[in-house]
Structure 1
Amino acid sequence: MRSARSFTALTLLAAIAAAALFILHLGLGTVWIPPDRVVLALLDRPTDPTDLTIVRELRLPRAILGLLVGCMLGLSGALLQVVMRNRLAEPGLTGVSTGGIFAAVLFLAGTWGLPHPGRLLPFVVLAGALAGGAVVLVASSFRGRIDPLRLILTAVIVNAVLGSLTSIVMLNSRQALGGILSWLIGSLNGRVWDDVWLALPWAAVGIPAALLAARPANVLQLDDESGRALGLPLQPARVALFGLAAVLAAGAVSVSGAIAFVGLMAPNAARVIAGADARRVLPLAALIGCVLLLAADLVAQSLSIKPPIPSSSARVGLPVGAVLAVFGAPLLIILIRRSIR
């Protein structure tokens, strides 16, 4: 385990990286705005009046959502890995993401052609995501206890069923297929202040609660006998942390779609840096989640502005989920190989 001074330095470095990416994110677009002008626009002292509109009205909502969603997914993944005692656990494995996706696809297919269906979409996603997580939690309980292995196996089955149902709905709703596919990949394109206000309450409650859950998270990483000896009610603690992880993931999915791998990469990177102590892993996973999502969205925007293969579809906006999949899939393969060994 690293010293306290080393951990503080690394955490500060991650925070600086997130802040730098945030400023670059606000400057990048069809009209490039240098970092100094971005800062002046944020301080309401722009050198060019158009900077104020571009930065604060058009780009700031997307950048803020990048921070919030990255933080929520990083924390959600870290909590799920503790509850399941498995470094491969992430929001997509728990039924939360797939439940939200199925509800969203069903909703989009049924409301295609109606005016402003997106205003209700986040609420539908939240309901589906929480329902999916609840199904996994209830189905994995046996005689009042939740076994981590049973939880993982149940989640795999629930995800397979929901994935099949989602495919059936998509095949029968070809008119809405384009919009559904874009949402399924996960994207921050076209996000506005309304999306920020929707995500903010979930982040304001979920993020502090997750950071305060470090002590029970540390105890749950021990064997059950040690946990009981320390006086922690194990089953209520697992249910509470699982529910908290589900709320964080649902809040993220509701505004960004199905962004994968952040909840896998951020906690694993935090553990490599900080060790197993949840008091260090949780805040670092939140910061790394922010860094990952903002960096991936910068790449997505860069490729959309100047696509390597010019086409009209590329200029619509590359989803950030596609960029994350390129880096997340190899990491998943590496982790699976290590777990087999």
Structure 2
Amino acid sequence: MPYLPVLVLLGALVLVAATAGIAAGSIRIPADQVWGILLHRLHPALAEPTWSPVRETIVIDVRLPRVLLCGVVGAGLAVCGMALQALVRNPLADPMLLGVSSGATVGAVLVVVFNLTLFGMFSLPLAAFCGALAALVAVYFLARSGGRMTTVRLVLAGVAMAEVLSAVASFLVVTSDDPHKTQAALRWMLGGLAGTTWTVVWIPAAAVLLGTAVLLGVCRPLNLLLAGEEAAAALGLDVHRFRAALFTLVALMIGTIVAVSGSIGFVGLIMPHVVRLLVGADHRRALPAAALLGAAFLITADLAARTLITPEEIPVGILTALVGGPFFLWLMRRKAAR
């Protein structure tokens, strides 16, 4: 399939999903009015204001930051998933595989359960990021042996760390004596973007943009790794150093994302496979497509999470797991059949 039409189609899909995400809610706003408000805010001459100030506040301050953060998180997880599958040469790899998500979860649960508010509204994201970073460092050193880091040790260390940290987070939640704190911790562990404000959008957006730019700059080595470690080394790539650097970059991106969104699984597993079917395995073509598809997917999933059982909201991590679990099993059977 030609690359440019696919990219344009995915871009249009993001715009449609974003428009629907901003329009839907307890107060429904027509799509043309959504765009009118956005254009008017961009420049007053672009649209004549025919809406109430309340609607403009809903669009600009309530729904737009949430939709943008959904797009950022979805794009980041999809890009990280694609890079990770190349790094460990395993199509079943997922960003949550590294144990980074579980580390972030422990940090966030500590803040919620023990009511640690040293840094105000940034306490939870900061604790989640520190937990993710600690898990990254632990997995990195567990996976290294004799100055080398193999794929098998990396995966095993990540899975073991994820299990241990998940058990710690569950223990903290179960032993909490405040049901409200327990409920808040559980909702965060299941992933969600409720209550997003402009303040929390910029840091993950910057991390995803910079991280994706770096990954686009190392597309050739990523493509070489797909051919095998021996072939990549024969063509001059220092495989172990490159893998360690990219593993660190991917884990830092995931840590930043999870710090604001909670644990949202399977996006980084599903999107790379769909993108490879559409545009092939070349990372120069696949990474931008994965970012767009991941953004559209998570915006749509969040829209469903908000509207399926209104006025209640389903944690978006539950919906992505319901979609991703069967997809993962299908991939595993397909891989075994081959």
Specify the TM-score bucket, using the shorter chain as the normaliser.
Answer: over 0.9
Q: Could you tell me how far 1:117 is from its partner in structure 2?
A: 5.4
Structure 2 counterparts to residues 203-222 of structure 1, below 5 A? 203-222=208-227
Report Cα offsets for 1:206-264 as digits up to 9, x if no partner: 22222222122111222222111211111111011111111221121111111111111
Q: Return the TM-score normalized by structure 2.
A: 0.92
| Pair 1:149-2:152 in alignment | yes
- The one-letter amino acid of 1:203's match is V
- 1:127 has 2:130 as partner: yes
Match of 2:188 in 1: 183
Q: Residue 197 in 1 paired to residue 193 in 2? A: no
Going from structure 1 to structure 2, the CA distance change for 1:17 and 1:220 (only over 3 Å counts) comes to same
SS of 2:170 mapped into structure 1 = helix
1:88-134 deviation per Cα after TM superposition (whole angstroms, max 9, x unaligned):
1111110111111111112221217x698542111111111122122
Counterpart code for 1:256: S
Aligned counterpart, 1:270: 275
Measured in 2, the distance between the counterparts of 1:115 and 1:143 equals 40
Deviation at residue 201 of structure 1 after TM alignment: 2.7
Check whether the contact 1:108–1:117 (CA below 8 A) recurs between aligned residues: no
In 2, the alpha carbon distance for the partners of 1:280 and 1:149 equals 28
Listed as ranges, the gaps of 5+ residues in structure 1 are: 306-314
More displaced stretch, 291-300 vs 267-276: 267-276
Letter in 1 for 2:127: V
Q: Which amino acid aligns with 1:104?
A: A
Matched position secondary structure for 1:88 = coil
What SS class does the counterpart of residue 186 from structure 1 fall into? coil
Q: Which residue of 2 aligns with 1:301?
A: 306
Q: What is aligned with 1:78?
A: 82
Whether contact under 8 Å (1:76, 1:244) holds in the other structure is no
Moved more, 166-175 or 91-100: 166-175
Note the alpha carbon deviations across 1:303-328, whole angstroms, 9 max, x for none: 143xxxxxxxxx24222112111111
Q: What secondary structure is seen at the aligned counterpart in 2 of 1:187?
A: coil
The letter of the residue matching 2:104 is G
The runs of 5 or more residues in structure 2 that have no matched partner are 41-46
1:1-341 equivalences in 2 (<5 Å): 2=1, 6-44=2-40, 45=47, 46-49=49-52, 50-111=54-115, 118-175=121-178, 176-305=181-310, 315-341=311-337
Give the AA of the match of 2:156: L
The alpha-carbon deviation at position 146 of structure 1 amounts to 1.5
Task: Classify the secondary structure of the residue corresponding to 1:48.
Answer: coil
Q: Higher mean Cα deviation, 199-208 or 34-43? A: 199-208
Equivalent residues of 2:106, 2:169 under 8 A apart? yes
| d(CA) in 1 for partners of 2:227, 2:164 | 32
Aligned counterpart, 2:44:
none
Which shifted more, 263-272 or 209-218? 209-218
2:261 & 2:37 partners in 1: Cα distance? Answer: 26
Q: How many residues align?
A: 327
Give the distance between the partners of 2:146 and 2:154, measured in 1 at CA. 14
Structure 1 residue 199 displacement after superposition: 2.1
User: TM-score by structure 1 length?
Assistant: 0.91
Identity %: 35
Aligned equivalent of 1:308? none
Partner of 1:311: none
CA RMSD of aligned residues (A): 1.7
SS at match of 1:232: coil
Partner of 2:29, secondary structure, is coil
